[in-house]
Chain A
Amino acid sequence: MCGIAGIFAHDGGVPPQRVELERAIAALKHRGPDGHGFYTHGRIGLAHARLSIIDLAGGTQPIHNEDQSVWVVFNGEIFNYIELRAFLEGQGHRFYTHSDTEVLVHLYEHYGLDFVQHLNGQFAIALWDQNQQQLILCRDRVGILPLFYAEQNGRVLFASEIKALLPVLGRTPVLNPAALDQVMTFWSTLGDATLFEGVRQILPGQMLIAAEGGTRKQHYWEWRYPSDDDYHRTPVEQQAEELRALLSDATRIRLRADVPVGAYLSGGLDSAVLATLIRANGIQPETYSMRFSDAQLDEGVYQQCMVEHLGVQHHQVQCSAANIGREFPRAIWHTETPILRTAPVPMMMLSGLVHARGAKVVLTGEGADEVLGGYDIFKEAKLRRFWARQPKSLWRPLLLKRLYPYLEFNPARAQSYSEAFFGTGLDQPNAAFFAHLPRWNTTAQSKQFYSAEFKARLHTDPLALLEQSLPRDFAQWHAFNRSQYLEASVLMANYLLWSQGDRMLMANSVEGRFPFLDHRVIEFAARIHPNLKMKVLNEKYLLKRALKNELPASVIARSKQPYRAPDIPAFFHNGKALDYVDALLGADAVKRYGYFDAQKTGFLLKKIRAGRALGYKDNMALVAILSTQMWHHLFVENGPRP
């Protein structure tokens, strides 16, 4: 993993200066601490900060083709580079390094813009074609690696993180109100928006081509599901075998590295599957876990079960509420966007453990729930649809009590109220957002804290915006697949892989690899019938079936426990707030920044200090307001680095 940045001047834009590239790449040192590389030629400037993982001695970027007419800087990994290189050498291409990066320039020469279709990997690529005088920016299919850009005065500026663009843009950042409103609805921004006005992201599966005359974009990959009942028709056992074989190969090629590869072990099914497949590929990985002092959140028993089963060398980091509070500002510096729960912070502490152990690469189970149907929201929607078929039934809504048994304040405990909550949209079970509306409505409750001035700056409805962006045949997809699509394209791409994934890994110069997000696995899984993904209410059924003989029975039988971290307790101890919390949520700062209402925020703090804030909504509101205030403090008020 690395960091990239660059500038392309077109239509009279000022040609890039080396000093601008140096300033940009300096902001990405955490992504690439092992060296820098630059290329400037006329209207193009490319910069690279390197984290050495493959071809430690020779993989210095930018890298070029034989006649130096194609140049590339690249963040990520091309896992099938060995096969691609063999093919390209067979076609007469000559390589001067052993790195995966070099296949990109030759593949581009061979296939043109279609080169990206041949990549199996996670990547953010900036490729310069000297002959065509065009810059190509593209991201991997699902959004594992980031790539942001801005257009200013006839120039395209791009970088792995927004903080690298800021010194080149040379203006005080302004918060994009629509983007904050999206975060306050979906936990993440939508589409290419970022919190920074004028800064956008290249979308997952998208390519931007910049040349004289302007820029254009094209999609080369999208999440697709059958609209014509075109599911796998083979026997279940055969599908399970195929899934296992694909996952095993996805894992195998993700073990390619010139440094040791470890694995996260959460205690859940997905990481257990991965650790098992790594071992089946002949490697005994070191494993890493986080532990919580709060027994409700801790999964140590299950982690230990897998450690004993696998016989691996295991390391763990203890995450207390206090150290989450302490690390929170640094986490927001890396996310560059507000968050609604503290869950990313322990992920940063976990990558810190990996770094401290001297490791650089970990495999994680991210994506399994989206791809193979593991989330509670899928289960919840299934139950609500079952209820919607007989809305007057007295016993159908009672099934809701089976949801969320791990929550201390289980919303299903007060039956009438849970029926009101889960009954949202019951009269429209086929609506596009049926599964997600209860969650989004709950998240949106934090908007009651907006100031009147901020509300006046909002002119778009986030739900309408999302609806406009849905694929043309979305309505023809199975309801379960529609939920999967929304989880993957909104929450996973713009929150889980962003705030909780890449940015928390890279904060400590650690690369994550995600076998469940291999596009071959995704495309195979899209054609598994929903009834095999979730059999009645048994989530990830086919995955369990595929690995049932290799995992401890307790891991297979265990109900999914979502990953959570302490929120309010991270910032308040015995009713007293941390100093920075007091400073950022005090009436002065709240009024000065202007996003939230000082009186309402004051009442929320009073409620928290009195120990009366117990529910999900108050926890979420506190983290949302605090992280937005922190974002402003770090990026608007105080400039580059805390």
Chain B
Amino acid sequence: MSIEQQVRDYILENFLFTNDASVLANDASFLEKGIIDSTGVLEMIFFLEQEFALKVADKEMIPENLDSVNNIVRYVQSKQAGVVS
């Protein structure tokens, strides 16, 4: 399964509590849409660290990395490529 699909499934099930894929656009801001709040982002970080075997540094906990499906995919790919975001 692609990173994008894994992230989408996770967000849909765990924050939107649905399997209706149409309710989540890949470029939708989690903050603006009220999908994820400050404790939700910690849950998501646990998920990313577990699923993709990476470590999210405190300074990387920023919307540019975590605030949409697209941002997360880009961030995970850069971490896996060894590029510090």
Chain A residues within 8 Å of B, Cβ to Cβ: 409, 411-418, 420-421, 441-442, 445, 448-449, 597, 599-601, 603-604, 606-607, 612-617
Interface size on B, residues (CB 8 A): 22
Q: Tell me, yes or no, whether B83 is within 8 Å of chain A by CB.
A: no
How near does chain A come to B76, taking the closest CB pair, in angstroms? 17
Do A614 and B42 touch across chains, with their CB atoms under 8 A apart? yes
A-B contact count (CB 8 A): 72
Contacting residues of chain B (13-33) with chain A, CB-CB under 8 angstroms: 13-14, 16-19, 31
| Nearest neighbor of A619 in chain B, beta-carbon distance | B39
Q: Which of B14, B19, B34, B38 has the most CB of A within 10 A?
A: B38
Contact of B41 with A417 in the complex, beta carbons under 8 Å: yes
Please, which residues of chain B bring their CB within 8 A of the CB of A604? 17
B43 touches which one: A420, A445, A597, A615 (CB < 8 A)? A615
The reply on B52 being an interface residue by CB < 8 A is no
**Complex contact B40–A615 (CB within 8 A):** yes
Contact assessment for A418 and B17 in the assembled complex, using a CB-CB cutoff below 8 Å:
no
Assess whether B37 is in contact with A417, with CB atoms less than 8 Å apart.
Answer: yes
Report, nearest first, the 6 A-B pairs whose CB atoms are least far apart: A615-B39, A417-B38, A411-B38, A600-B17, A603-B17, A414-B61
Inter-subunit contact B38/A420 (CB<8 Å): yes
Query: DSSP majority for the B interface?
Result: helix
Given the complex of chains A and B, what is the CA–CA distance between A420 and B38 in angstroms?
8
Residues on B lying within 8 angstroms of A by beta carbon are: 13-14, 16-19, 31, 34, 36-43, 46-47, 58, 61-63
B42–A612 contact, CB under 8 A? no
User: Contact between A615 and B42 (Cβ–Cβ < 8 Å)?
Assistant: yes
Whether the pair A415, B61 counts as a contact (CB closer than 8 A) is: yes
> Is the CB–CB distance between B17 and A449 below 8 Å?
yes
Given contacts A409-B39, A612-B47, A616-B39, contact A607 B61 (CB under 8 A): no
- The chain A residue sitting closest to B43, CB to CB, is A614
Q: What residues on B are CB-neighbors of A442 within 8 Å?
A: 37
B39 touches A614 (CB 8 A): yes
Q: Tell me, in angstroms, the Cα distance from A445 to B35 when the chains sit together.
A: 9
**Cα(A597)–Cα(B17), bound, Å:** 10
Asked if A607 contacts B37 (CB within 8 A), the reply is no
CB of B61 to closest CB in A, whole Å: 5
Residues of A within 8 A of B34 (CB): 441, 445
User: Which residues in B have their C-beta under 8 angstroms from that of A414?
Assistant: 38, 41-42, 61
